[in-house]
A = this chain, B = another copy of it.
């Protein structure tokens, strides 16, 4: 099932727009997904990196599961043609390069899914050091996409 979902995500990245509606809806939905990811990431960063004395295994597992399920949810469907312009909750920061370099877009998407699934597995161990290391790998996949496909702000 995992592989199939991953393929469905990729197929979403390419064909897109079959599931979500108008452009502004897609942008709002994906901004919501990434903001939800940011909240869950911030909790793991706080508990496994910045303040390990506050580490709460169940909260970190819940956050890691939320990140993995979001990564596996088929976000590619929210990147339909034309969604490099538009306002969801705010103006999208997606670069047109996302559509001009579909192989690279798929690559960063798959890397994110793989490392998110790995983090969910590692979280179950409750080992703060391993979680911190795997959280770092996940963060690299976020950065990889942001550097290539997200407009920088000041």
- Nearest residue (CB) in B for A35 is B32
Q: Which 9 A-B pairs have the closest CB atoms?
A: A69-B69, A32-B35, A66-B73, A32-B32, A29-B39, A89-B89, A66-B69, A32-B36, A65-B69
Query: Which residues of B have CB within 8 Å of A5?
Result: 58, 61-62
Complex formed: what's the CA distance from A69 to B37 in Å?
Answer: 12
Instruction: Please name all residues of chain B whose beta carbon is closer than 8 Å to the beta carbon of A46 when the two chains form the complex.
Output: 19
| CB of A104, distance to nearest CB on chain B (Å) | 23
Assembly CA distance A154 to B61 (angstroms)? 39
C-alpha gap A18/B21 in the complex (Å): 36
A interface secondary structure, majority: helix
* Stoichiometry, copies per complex: 2
Chain B residues near A36: list those with CB within 8 A: 29, 32-33, 36, 70
Known: A69-B68, A69-B70. A62 touches B31 (CB 8 A): no
Could you tell me if A33 and B28 are in contact, using CB atoms closer than 8 angstroms?
no
A4 is an interface residue with CB less than 8 A from chain B:
yes
State the CA gap A68–B63 with chains docked (Å).
Answer: 12
